[in-house]
């Protein structure tokens, strides 16, 4: 990490004006379409489309989670290179320096999070800071559990004494296994998430099919208050089902 670069806070994501407008338009467009499918009323759909502004907040959470996930995966590679360097007899500080060149072979500085972070750690070490404070700073800015666990073990080992290299190698192995399990779970759930989206879109597809193939059959749910209440209840269950299924598939390791 170069001196003029401000350390990245992984707990936030700053949108450009263009991104905000794009996500707002996308969210409002989707919610307008959903409203029109369920109510067939332009005014109700326009009012309903305002809820699409919440899409900006949802997208922000997704992007924050994605950058943390990418940092976590790249941190796994750092642990591998650190473990290799420690096994070769290098000190922890020198292992970070040796790991940097290996990481640069895997990731470009602009296309990764871990390369600038390791550069920043090395720069701080050259300025006299200790490795514990460097990793603690990364832990606070990322709030990634695996990075926090590694930092806690390192600090404890430094304070209590013991075979630092052996402890770090063992801890690195455990954390790498944990990250790999998370990745495997993500791969297994990818298909289920696609099924979840299809199931949530199925009711709207069915409504569209019936509307354009047999409008007389669907007219009562669009043309009177009782029908609108039925459609509102149906939409409520679709939304609840989507949120509920999302929570079921949110598996933590």
- Per the structure, the complete domain to which residue 62 belongs is given by 17-248
Q: Is residue 7 assigned to a domain?
A: no
Task: Give me the mean pLDDT over the 204-223 stretch.
Answer: 87
Q: Is residue 110 assigned to a domain?
A: yes
Find tokens 């473990």 and name the residue. Answer: 83
Helices (H), 40-91: 42-49, 55-87
* Tokens representing residue 200 in the block: 């949530």
- What is the Cα–Cα distance from 118 to 78, expressed in whole angstroms? 9
- What is the Cα–Cα distance from 23 to 21, expressed in whole angstroms? 6
Burial 102-128 (b: 16+ CB within 10 A, else e): bbeeebeeeebbbbbbbbbbbebbeee
Q: How many domains does the chain have?
A: 1
SS3 state at 41: coil
Percent of the chain with pLDDT over 70: 96
Q: Is residue 10 assigned to a domain?
A: no
Q: Is residue 209 assigned to a domain?
A: yes
Q: Is residue 83 assigned to a domain?
A: yes
- What is the Cα–Cα distance from 233 to 36, expressed in whole angstroms? 15
- The answer, yes or no, to whether residue 24 has pLDDT greater than 90, is yes
Q: Is residue 108 assigned to a domain?
A: yes
pTM: 0.80
Give pLDDT tens digits for 97-118.
Answer: 999 989 988 887 677 899 999 9
Residue 4 pLDDT grade (very low, low, confident, very high; cuts 50, 70, 90):
very low
Burial 134-173 (b: 16+ CB within 10 A, else e): bbbbbbebbebebbbebbebbbebeeeeeeebebbbebbe
Q: Is residue 8 assigned to a domain?
A: no
Helices (H), 112-248: 114-126, 131-142, 145-160, 164-213, 215-222, 225-248
* Tokens representing residue 88 in the block: 């070769």
Give pLDDT tens digits for 36-54.
Answer: 999 988 998 999 899 999 9
Task: Give me the mean pLDDT over the 182-187 stretch.
Answer: 82
């Amino acid at each position: 990490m170069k001196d003029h670069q401000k350390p990245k806070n992984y707990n936030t994501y700053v949108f450009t004006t263009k991104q905000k407008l794009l996500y707002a338009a996308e969210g409002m467009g989707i919610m307008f379409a959903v409203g029109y499918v369920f109510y067939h009323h332009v005014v109700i759909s326009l009012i309903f489309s305002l809820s699409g502004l919440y899409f900006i907040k949802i997208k922000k959470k997704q992007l924050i989670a994605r950058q943390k996930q990418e940092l976590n995966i790249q941190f796994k590679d750092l642990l591998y290179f650190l473990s290799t360097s420690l096994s070769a007899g290098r000190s922890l500080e020198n292992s970070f320096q040796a790991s940097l060149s290996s990481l640069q072979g895997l990731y470009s500085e602009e296309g990764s999070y871990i390369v600038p972070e390791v550069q920043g750690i090395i720069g701080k070490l050259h300025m006299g800071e200790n490795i514990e404070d460097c990793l603690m700073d990364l832990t606070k800015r990322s709030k990634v559990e695996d990075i926090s666990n590694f930092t806690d073990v390192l600090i404890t080992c430094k304070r209590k004494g013991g075979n630092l290299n052996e402890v770090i190698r063992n801890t690195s192995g455990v954390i790498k296994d944990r990250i790999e399990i998370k990745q495997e779970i993500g791969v297994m759930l990818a298909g289920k998430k696609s099924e979840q989206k299809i199931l949530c879109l199925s009711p709207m597809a069915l409504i569209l099919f019936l509307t354009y193939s047999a409008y007389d059959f669907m007219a009562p749910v669009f043309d009177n208050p009782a029908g609108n209440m039925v459609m509102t209840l149906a939409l409520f269950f679709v939304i609840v089902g989507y949120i509920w299924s999302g929570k079921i598939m949110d598996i933590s390791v």
